[in-house]
Amino acid sequence: MKLAERMGRIGTETAFEAAARARALEATGRSVIHLEIGEPDFDTPANIRDAAKRALDRGATHYTPTPGIPELRAAIASDATARKGFAVTPDRVVVVPGGKPVMFFAVLALVDEGDEVIYPDPGFPIYESMARYVGGRAVPCPIRQEKGFRLDPDELASLVTPRTRLVILNSPANPTGGVSTREDLERIAAIAREHDFTILADEIYGRILYEGEHVSIASLPDMAERTIVLDGFSKTYAMTGWRLGYAILPEALVTPFSRLIVNSVSCTNAATQWAGVEALTGPQDSVDAMVAEFKTRRDLIVDGLNSIPGVSCVRPAGAFYAFPDISATGLTGAELADRLLNEGGVSALAGTAFGQVGRYHLRFSYATSRENIAEAVRRTRAVIEPLVEARRGGTVR
Ligand code: PLP
């Protein structure tokens, strides 16, 4: 069958493939610790699950309005107004099945063939995939460990051209855990105003933050009218399987997004939307408890990794990933990820799953138990130590 030419340009998210590979190894009887997939290991809180059950029993089994039920749009608007530092009205909120569709729709709505999309490298792989899929030019902006994994506004400015249409930001970031400061964002906002491009601000990890404040670039002067805020329920409320996310949009994009929704999914699952209302308006203590636990785990994994010779790991301020530099092992992240899985029974992702800048990194998701983290560090040490010793001794294994 002849596929459309654009299908040759679409990428993928390797986390799902790595998880399948790890499960296949497990099926042969091997013990594998899963640090590859980016989802909270906690269950969705009971009050949220109960709200969905009640909604189903009440008959929330039909189509909903395309941009979402009014109750959820209102709840998102008031939550975002309180947390993101700018006034969000319900008419600017569109509800979609997960955070990912916001990327898809933003790119479809804004990017013509040959337009440039600047995205973080390393960064979530779907940014580049979508930009290339629609015929745009995907321009990586390097995110460097020596800059604490914060996107450097000067480096961004050097990449902007008259064809720059969209700049994608992600803070706190996957896969690095890097967090942009207010000052960084002010400088990026100034570049956006000067060169008149739109920003897609992926804030899906906005509440999984251990130090500092979460700043939305949309809260800076005039920026709400040129920023698409992507957020959702997957990470904050441990709701990855529910598929519930949203965009906060400049006025000019509300109708285009609604068109894209009606042309693709019609609307988001009705009962899931009621679960979202409960998530935002109900008690928040399970979010606080989850973030506190992630922080403990972060310290466990970062200290553990840094105690392994040849591994250098920044302590991330947000999200639930560690992104160590493993160049001293003499292997690339991809080579080491293979060895870790096959020799050590630890499933991590190669940094290149997130772009070329991550060539000598691994990504470990620490959304797993403390016991698993401790054991994963032990196994990782057992694989890496001999490699580093062999190099120091002048013999390369
Ligand atoms: N943005 C980033 C940076 C992510 O890491 C993810 C999921 O891993 C998403 C968006 C997508 O979230 P969702 O599962 O809600 O589509």
Q: What is the pLDDT of residues 344-380, one digit of tens each?
A: 999 999 999 999 999 999 999 999 999 999 999 999 9
Q: Of 175, 277, 182, whose CA–CA distance to 223 is shortest? A: 182
Q: Is 30 left (phi over 0), alpha (psi -120 to 50) or beta?
A: beta
Residue 396 has pLDDT above 60, yes or no: no
Torsion of CA 32, 19, 374, 41, to 10 degrees: -120
Instruction: Measure the CA–CA gap between 385 and 397, rounded to whole angstroms.
Output: 12
Where does the pLDDT of residue 17 fall: very low under 50, low under 70, confident under 90, or very high at 90 and above? confident
Q: The pTM is what?
A: 0.96
What mean pLDDT value characterizes the chain? 96
Find the residues whose C-beta lies inside 6 A of ligand 1: 38, 98-100, 124, 170, 174, 202, 204, 232, 234, 240, 245
- The mean per-residue pLDDT over the stretch 275-286 comes to 97
Pick from 12, 36, 100 the residue to mutate for probing ligand 1's pocket: most ligand atoms within 8 Å of its CB.
100
